[in-house]
Amino acid sequence: MGLISAVITQNIDGLHRKAGSKNIFEIHGNLEEAYCMKCRRKTTFDELVKKLSGGNIPPECDFCSQRGRKGILRPNLVLFGDILPPSFTQAAKEVRRSNLLIVIGSSLEVYPANRLPANCSKFVIINREETSYDSLAEIIWHENAGKALEEILKELRG
Protein backbone atom coordinates (compact mmCIF):
# COMPACT_ATOMS: atom_id res chain seq x y z
CA MET A 1 0.00 0.00 0.00
CA GLY A 2 3.09 2.23 0.06
CA LEU A 3 2.64 3.28 3.69
CA ILE A 4 5.83 1.77 5.10
CA SER A 5 9.13 3.39 4.16
CA ALA A 6 11.42 0.91 5.93
CA VAL A 7 11.64 -2.15 8.17
CA ILE A 8 14.08 -2.03 11.05
CA THR A 9 14.66 -5.42 12.62
CA GLN A 10 16.75 -7.07 15.31
CA ASN A 11 15.86 -10.47 13.84
CA ILE A 12 18.74 -12.34 12.21
CA ASP A 13 16.70 -14.93 10.30
CA GLY A 14 16.26 -12.96 7.04
CA LEU A 15 12.50 -13.54 7.02
CA HIS A 16 11.70 -9.90 6.25
CA ARG A 17 13.70 -10.16 3.02
CA LYS A 18 12.15 -13.54 2.19
CA ALA A 19 8.69 -12.03 2.74
CA GLY A 20 9.44 -9.38 0.12
CA SER A 21 9.98 -6.38 2.40
CA LYS A 22 12.03 -3.56 0.93
CA ASN A 23 14.44 -1.10 2.56
CA ILE A 24 15.34 -3.40 5.45
CA PHE A 25 17.78 -2.42 8.18
CA GLU A 26 19.04 -5.59 9.88
CA ILE A 27 20.63 -3.89 12.86
CA HIS A 28 22.00 -7.13 14.33
CA GLY A 29 23.08 -8.63 10.99
CA ASN A 30 21.78 -11.90 9.59
CA LEU A 31 22.48 -15.61 9.35
CA GLU A 32 22.59 -15.61 5.57
CA GLU A 33 25.99 -13.99 5.23
CA ALA A 34 29.49 -14.31 6.58
CA TYR A 35 32.46 -12.01 6.06
CA CYS A 36 36.22 -11.98 6.38
CA MET A 37 37.49 -10.10 9.40
CA LYS A 38 40.60 -9.00 7.46
CA CYS A 39 39.42 -8.02 3.95
CA ARG A 40 35.69 -7.58 4.81
CA ARG A 41 34.60 -9.57 1.70
CA LYS A 42 31.23 -11.23 2.11
CA THR A 43 30.33 -14.83 1.44
CA THR A 44 27.36 -16.99 2.33
CA PHE A 45 26.74 -18.39 5.78
CA ASP A 46 26.46 -21.79 4.06
CA GLU A 47 30.05 -21.42 2.86
CA LEU A 48 31.18 -20.73 6.42
CA VAL A 49 29.33 -23.83 7.68
CA LYS A 50 30.81 -25.92 4.83
CA LYS A 51 34.34 -24.86 5.81
CA LEU A 52 33.72 -25.65 9.48
CA SER A 53 32.13 -29.01 8.64
CA GLY A 54 35.16 -29.85 6.50
CA GLY A 55 37.52 -29.25 9.42
CA ASN A 56 38.68 -25.78 8.31
CA ILE A 57 38.91 -24.33 11.82
CA PRO A 58 39.15 -21.43 12.00
CA PRO A 59 37.36 -20.97 8.66
CA GLU A 60 39.74 -19.15 6.32
CA CYS A 61 38.85 -16.59 3.67
CA ASP A 62 39.65 -17.91 0.18
CA PHE A 63 40.44 -14.42 -1.12
CA CYS A 64 42.99 -13.73 1.62
CA SER A 65 44.46 -17.26 1.42
CA GLN A 66 45.17 -16.77 -2.32
CA ARG A 67 47.17 -13.67 -1.42
CA GLY A 68 49.16 -15.28 1.39
CA ARG A 69 47.20 -13.59 4.15
CA LYS A 70 45.29 -15.14 7.03
CA GLY A 71 41.71 -13.89 6.91
CA ILE A 72 39.13 -15.56 9.13
CA LEU A 73 35.43 -15.80 8.27
CA ARG A 74 32.73 -15.07 10.82
CA PRO A 75 28.93 -14.83 10.70
CA ASN A 76 27.50 -11.44 9.75
CA LEU A 77 26.01 -11.00 13.23
CA VAL A 78 26.44 -8.44 15.94
CA LEU A 79 27.88 -10.28 18.91
CA PHE A 80 28.30 -8.90 22.42
CA GLY A 81 31.13 -6.40 22.41
CA ASP A 82 30.93 -5.76 18.64
CA ILE A 83 30.55 -2.29 17.19
CA LEU A 84 27.12 -1.83 15.64
CA PRO A 85 27.01 -2.04 11.85
CA PRO A 86 26.31 0.96 9.60
CA SER A 87 22.73 -0.32 9.25
CA PHE A 88 22.05 0.85 12.82
CA THR A 89 23.10 4.44 12.07
CA GLN A 90 21.05 4.34 8.86
CA ALA A 91 18.05 2.98 10.79
CA ALA A 92 18.33 5.80 13.35
CA LYS A 93 18.34 8.37 10.52
CA GLU A 94 15.27 6.71 9.01
CA VAL A 95 13.48 6.92 12.36
CA ARG A 96 14.30 10.63 12.70
CA ARG A 97 12.85 11.28 9.21
CA SER A 98 9.67 9.30 9.75
CA ASN A 99 6.26 10.63 10.73
CA LEU A 100 5.40 7.52 12.71
CA LEU A 101 7.36 4.58 14.06
CA ILE A 102 5.45 1.37 14.66
CA VAL A 103 7.23 -0.89 17.15
CA ILE A 104 5.99 -4.45 16.71
CA GLY A 105 6.76 -7.35 19.03
CA SER A 106 9.61 -5.75 20.94
CA SER A 107 10.06 -5.45 24.69
CA LEU A 108 12.21 -2.37 23.99
CA GLU A 109 14.75 -3.63 26.52
CA VAL A 110 17.81 -4.30 24.33
CA TYR A 111 20.16 -1.33 24.08
CA PRO A 112 20.70 0.56 21.79
CA ALA A 113 17.72 -0.50 19.67
CA ASN A 114 15.44 0.43 22.55
CA ARG A 115 16.52 4.07 22.09
CA LEU A 116 15.09 4.33 18.56
CA PRO A 117 11.59 5.46 19.65
CA ALA A 118 13.18 8.43 21.43
CA ASN A 119 14.31 9.65 17.99
CA CYS A 120 10.80 9.83 16.55
CA SER A 121 8.09 12.40 17.18
CA LYS A 122 5.32 9.76 17.26
CA PHE A 123 5.35 6.03 17.79
CA VAL A 124 2.92 3.17 18.31
CA ILE A 125 3.70 0.02 20.28
CA ILE A 126 2.18 -3.36 19.42
CA ASN A 127 3.44 -5.88 21.95
CA ARG A 128 1.88 -8.54 24.14
CA GLU A 129 3.50 -7.18 27.30
CA GLU A 130 3.97 -3.70 28.70
CA THR A 131 7.17 -1.84 27.85
CA SER A 132 8.98 1.00 29.58
CA TYR A 133 7.96 3.22 26.63
CA ASP A 134 4.18 2.63 26.90
CA SER A 135 3.54 5.95 28.65
CA LEU A 136 5.25 7.84 25.79
CA ALA A 137 3.51 6.09 22.88
CA GLU A 138 0.66 7.57 20.86
CA ILE A 139 -1.09 4.22 20.87
CA ILE A 140 -0.34 1.07 22.85
CA TRP A 141 -1.81 -2.22 21.66
CA HIS A 142 -1.16 -5.17 23.94
CA GLU A 143 -1.94 -7.92 21.47
CA ASN A 144 -0.36 -10.65 19.41
CA ALA A 145 1.45 -8.90 16.54
CA GLY A 146 -0.15 -11.05 13.82
CA LYS A 147 -3.66 -10.43 15.08
CA ALA A 148 -3.09 -6.70 15.52
CA LEU A 149 -1.63 -6.32 12.02
CA GLU A 150 -4.52 -8.25 10.48
CA GLU A 151 -6.96 -5.86 12.15
CA ILE A 152 -4.99 -2.81 10.97
CA LEU A 153 -4.93 -4.16 7.41
CA LYS A 154 -8.67 -4.78 7.52
CA GLU A 155 -9.23 -1.15 8.60
CA LEU A 156 -6.91 0.21 5.91
CA ARG A 157 -8.74 -1.74 3.22
CA GLY A 158 -12.00 -0.28 4.53
pLDDT in tens, 60-75: 999 999 999 999 999 9
Terminal C-alpha separation, the chain? 13
Give the residue numbers annotated as catalytic, written as ranges: 28
- Counting residues of the chain whose pLDDT is more than 90, the rounded percentage is 91
Cis link prior to 58 (omega < 30° from 0)?
A: yes
**pTM metric for this prediction:** 0.86
Nearest by Cα to 139 from 150, 127, 147, 157: 127
- pLDDT-derived band at 88 (thresholds 50, 70, 90) equals very high
Give the whole-angstrom CA distance, residue 27 versus residue 92.
Answer: 10
Backbone angles phi, psi at 76, to 5 degrees: -85, 65
Domains of the chain: 7-28+82-157 (3.40.50.1220), 31-77 (3.30.1600.10)
